[in-house]
Amino acid sequence: VDLESPEEVEEEIPVVMCAAAGRMGAAVAAISSIYSNTEANVLFYIVGLKTTIPHIRKWIENSKLKEIKFKVVEFNPMVLKGKIRQDASRPELLQPLNFIRFYLPLLTQKHEKVIYLDDDVIVQGDIQELYDTKLAPGHAAAFSDDCDLPSTHEMVRSVGMQNTYMGFLDYRKQAIRDLGISPSTCSFNPGVIVANMTEWKHQRITKQLEKWMQRNVEENLYSSTLGGGVATPPMLIVFHGKYSPINPMWHIRHLGWSPDARYSEQFLQEAKLLHWNGRYKPWDYPSVHTDLWENWFIPDPLGKFKLTRPDS
């Protein structure tokens, strides 16, 4: 066996996550699950707004997470001015921090490869494995495909989940039809991303994403009443046919799509990453498989973030 040189083993794994007001416990549980399940040298980039940063810092420094390596990055929502169409149906999807994944090179320093994770995930595997995802030459990102797992298909059918481009883009609009993307194309979920920063900058991915955000403000090309809100459609357009696959076990999703659609326990034990995308979050009630989430949760030392449980 060819032993790796020590420099290689010590490579830093940058993980970008947001800490949003009202959902900070989510970020804390995700970070705690990653940190507890790896020996790798993880550097967390925790992105927040000016008002929320002191709280997340205190939470980390006053818990067992004080051992982690982290940088707190302030995100200035002015970056998004004029790029988001106000949508009354699900205002939570317009939170500025939903868009930090568009700006990965601005948030991280000098890394070639970066992992981005939504806050409503739990990592049960070794994050090193996800980091080792191979990106094909010319690809700026890897995602998990929405048609990749048979067990997920059952789930998708039972909760009427969107898993094609038609669920995210408005095909009545000429600009969408002009893309020449078949509406039945499988979508992907940008809640877990392995990204190559060199390619991202070279292809000016951030600029391309912003262009579609701006076009949506003018022409209403996708609505958050469809599928997964407003951060997914620009990515579906910009990365169409130009992304590498993430192992499906590294993104088991739809745990938040319905308060009663459940996966089998055995399947969930094998899953490397669980994602409660959808409305039913594991810190709220009702929701499913909350035990798997709560296992990693660390109570808020300031007492502001509380779990909602049937008996609370």
Whole-angstrom distance between the N-terminal and C-terminal Cα of the chain?
Answer: 55
Does residue 183 lie within any of the structural domains? Answer: no
Residues of the domain holding 266: 10-148+188-217+230-295
pLDDT at 160: 55
Q: Tell me: the pLDDT tens digits for 6-55?
A: 555 568 999 999 999 999 999 999 999 999 999 999 999 999 999 999 99
Q: H/E/C letters for each residue in the chain?
A: CCCCCHHHHCCEEEEEEECCCCCHHHHHHHHHHHHHCCCCEEEEEEEECCCCHHHHHHHHHCCHHHHCEEEEEECCHHHHCCCCCCCCCCHHHHCHHHHHHHHHHHHCCCCCEEEEECCCEEECCCHHHHHCCCCCCCCCEEEEECCCCHHHHHHHHHHCCCCEHHHCCCCCCHHHHCCCCCCCCECEEEEEEEEEHHHHHHCCHHHHHHHHHHHHHHHCCCCCCCCCCCCHHHHHHHCCCCCEECCHHHCECCCCCCCCCCCCHHHHHHCCEEECCCCCCCCCCCCCCHHHHHCCCCCCCCCCCCCCCCCC
pLDDT at 164: 87
pLDDT at 163: 82
pTM assigned to the model: 0.93
pLDDT at 9: 52
pLDDT at 258: 86
Does residue 47 lie within any of the structural domains? Answer: yes
pLDDT at 3: 59
Cα–Cα distance between 43 and 73 in angstroms, integer?
Answer: 12
Give which of 256, 260, 277, 271 is closest to 149, Cα–Cα: 271
Phi, psi angles (nearest 5°) of residue 246: -100, 140
Count of domains forming the chain: 1
Does residue 160 lie within any of the structural domains? Answer: no
Does residue 164 lie within any of the structural domains? Answer: no
Does residue 177 lie within any of the structural domains? Answer: no
Cα–Cα distance between 280 and 274 in angstroms, integer?
Answer: 14
The position carrying tokens 């399947």 is: 267
Does residue 62 lie within any of the structural domains? Answer: yes
Low-confidence ranges of the chain (pLDDT < 50): none
Does residue 182 lie within any of the structural domains? Answer: no
Q: What is the CATH number of the domain that holds 71?
A: 3.90.550.10
Does residue 135 lie within any of the structural domains? Answer: yes
